[in-house]
Structure 1
């Protein structure tokens, strides 16, 4: 499942392959310069520590080249960072837009059955988690992969036998990281879901604070918050604990590698197979070679969190949209005011009946008041008239035309709805008045 999630997430980067190519190019340049620096450092050490007088002219030339190499490496890393940031935030923007567009198209049933705070958490917080995971993943992926293969090449030039020793031992780091990663995903998934619950509770409490105070619900609201907060803490601690194991484990394996390189390299230097400068160069490479494996542990933990958040975003994107208007749907022009309900049956859930065999004929200009206790179906009737929901059976006609044969936009434009609770859009008074007809 994680592989399919990752594959789908990466599919959103396809429009930005040019930035990926640039990031890879700058990663190659930056890492190449970084790896070439130890060669120059080793050469400088040999010039100073070698027999005879120090060749200051040669040393000066080496140091000049070293300065250019270091500056080029720094500039390349900076440019690669710009590219990876661009890819990440363009990708997350596209995912957010797709999720928001789907929210505009899902049936009202989806909105009614999903806590609003949870939806907000997915589009806002989970999207940021995806961004953090992608950014770290891209940055470490490009530099890490190039560093690993580049370092192997440079080490092989210095000493093939010690290089083979390093290559055979370090895969243990990948095994440890992969083993732990498989067990952390479920904890990050639970953490994202619980965070959504908390956002939903805060949104509902703050949005209805007057009711909370009027009914003296503060204490129970606090109890509910504490319960969710405790679960979020537990999920977070578990996720952090298991993900944090990776780094010490990989560092231990890499420490063993570095120690072996130091011992074998020192013996080779004593035997005359390596110069002091080459040994210094090789130790620097061994350190750089193991560094990406240490960083991969952090990337894996962040990526698991990002995939858990991406799964929640994709659940919105994959939500079944509202049934589209029929190809031959009519546009309701002038509504004459007649409304006819013929043997209408409707229920939100099959096992709980709500409206059964309702027939009603409203003439043009006639005023109708529908009264009843809470939950008897008054608001539901409005939802059916405006096609926020479709009837289970029977028919509703407006101006002698079945509403299912009309476009939803033209049908809803014919109604004037006064909501029970006031809703104001962020903006000016003019924008609120003109909301229906901007």
Structure 2
């Protein structure tokens, strides 16, 4: 596995680690979009249908924040009244007392304000949750529909992890940002503006002191964040190496033991783990310095504010409660700035995620279906390739001027070395790829004049790589035909020689196959896929070395079932073991994308050409004579 792949896999195994600030993310490298403005504009178009709700969110966020901002100043009035009453009593003023009724009214007013602030915040979150989930629902739907329209070459060119990361992790990242960061951004901006206004209304001088200390915090934070980002990059890179190494060691556990490489594997792990410890320690230590330094600078600011406030109180320029309110505002002042910076990073990452999702949506789709598709109502199974040319790249043709004629009911075997074009031929037949030129006809109808679903419905496929899903054995077989009865499912299983082993399982046909169906053997998996194909009862068949994973005895039994299934049907068999296709009506020998020999088994052996050489490489001379 290449190092890039290891890092790539590690990236997808950490979807929850978002960029941010401090020990909570400050200094973490942020993924940036290539076209920030363009992607942002496009993402906003998904929010336009909900502009009414978004305006409501904006208004409720402002009201909620305003109520919470004015509260400290009102609380300051209660402190002032308490201080004034206490001072008058200490001075011995006749009839002096603390006005608890006034203070009580202030407390009730504050409770009311806090309740209103919480209520509006609740409404804001409720509306925004709906907007975010509807937006992401539509985006997910678009991605799902797009994936269904993408050609096979898109999936062949990318890892499953990359596609899943874009369709799941990146969309989730957008969802989280819309629901949380957007409302936080509105609240932070309103809080910042509101706090500045309230501080200025109390004392412009003390406001200046707070503002002057702010650049010191920024300079200290920026210099530390820059340094810690380098360590965080190193940490992520090493973590990718470690994850890749562990995955390789566990997936290849048996091979490591067979070749006695346990010690080497452990040494490699310890070396990478040591690097990760070193990078992680430095990253966390350096980023951890940010909060103490910010606290130190802020505390100096509070001391200066307190001293200035004390002087102003003695001069009766402001009241004692105003100092209390101002210190609360000063504490609130840095919070929205930090939050805004955090959100800016999150939005950067989100736009990068949106860009990755939009890249899927902008991919070239399959050629559009014909406006007036033709339907084969009674398929005979006549297949013809006429002057077909195809290449995975426009300037590099794999198949040139291919001509094949297959009669209804014939069994066609396709043989040849690895990379000869056998599977490509099947992909073209099923229209997983579009041909560059020529025609592929089924019952004299060009496959491009048919709907892809109708075309693929004519074929049943049994591949070398089995595919079963996490459900019962019954459901997996029934996948071959919608609405199949219990009797039909059992009959198909019997024909595929699967009924016996199914009944030996504790739950029989109700046995749940786990993920990757690892609770049954590879051969048993293949039997179930064959039973599925038998149940589908298609007009034509494609078999890609369908018996390669079963033992010799089972292979003979399956071969009989397959012969019964193929009787009267046009069948295409990709074969690597030539013993399985000796009875084929026509054998196509492929090499470098060309059909270099045609004929039945006997004719090709007599020619003494490429097929004969392939056959001789698998069997002894006596075997050839007996076979012939």
Shorter-chain TM-score bucket reads 0.7 to 0.9
Q: Residue in 1 aligned with 2:45?
A: 11
Write out per-residue CA displacement over residues 322-348 of structure 1, whole angstroms, 9 at most, x where no aligned residue: 111132443343323211111212222
Q: Residue in 1 aligned with 2:404?
A: 360
Q: Residue in 2 aligned with 1:343?
A: 387
Work out which structure has the larger RCO, using CA pairs closer than 8 Å and 6 or more positions apart in sequence.
1
Residue 258 of structure 1: how far off its partner (Å): 5.0
Distance 1:255 1:384, change over 3 A: farther
RMSD: 4.7
Contact 1:192 1:308 in 2 (8 A): no
Q: Residue in 1 aligned with 2:55?
A: 21
Distance 1:104 1:367, change over 3 A: same
Number of aligned residues: 438
Contact 1:30 1:77 in 2 (8 A): yes
Is 1:395 matched up with 2:429? no
Which residues in structure 2 correspond to 1:29-428 (within 5 Å)?
29-50=63-84, 52-163=96-207, 258=302, 261-350=305-394, 353-428=397-472
Query: Which segment is superposed worse, 173-182 or 36-45?
Result: 173-182
Write out per-residue CA displacement over residues 253-292 of structure 1, whole angstroms, 9 at most, x where no aligned residue: 7667655544443332232211111121122222223220
Query: Separation in 2 of the partners of 1:91 and 1:279?
Result: 46
With structure 2 as the length reference, what TM-score do the two structures score?
0.58
Query: Separation in 1 of the partners of 2:399 and 2:257?
Result: 34
Query: Which segment is superposed worse, 11-20 or 230-239?
Result: 230-239
Distance 1:96 1:272, change over 3 A: same
Gap regions ≥5 residues in structure 2 = 1-34, 85-94, 483-628
Residue 78 of structure 1: how far off its partner (Å): 3.5
Residue 315 of structure 1: how far off its partner (Å): 2.0
Contact 1:118 1:197 in 2 (8 A): no
Query: Which segment is superposed worse, 194-203 or 148-157?
Result: 194-203
Query: Which segment is superposed worse, 159-168 or 418-427?
Result: 159-168
Gap regions ≥5 residues in structure 1 = none
Query: Separation in 2 of the partners of 1:103 and 1:293?
Result: 41
Distance 1:385 1:246, change over 3 A: farther
Distance 1:113 1:145, change over 3 A: same
Query: Separation in 2 of the partners of 1:182 and 1:135?
Result: 29
Contact 1:122 1:196 in 2 (8 A): no
Residue 353 of structure 1: how far off its partner (Å): 4.3
Query: Separation in 1 of the partners of 2:412 and 2:297?
Result: 79
* Paired residue secondary structure (2:411): coil
Query: Separation in 2 of the partners of 1:234 and 1:312?
Result: 32
Contact 2:189 2:340 in 1 (8 A): no
Residue 223 of structure 1: how far off its partner (Å): 11
Query: Which segment is superposed worse, 43-52 or 284-293?
Result: 43-52
Query: Separation in 2 of the partners of 1:234 and 1:317?
Result: 41
Residue 129 of structure 1: how far off its partner (Å): 2.9
Contact 1:27 1:143 in 2 (8 A): yes
Distance 1:146 1:213, change over 3 A: same
Query: Separation in 2 of the partners of 1:144 and 1:314?
Result: 29
Higher alpha-carbon Rg: 2
Residue 47 of structure 1: how far off its partner (Å): 0.9
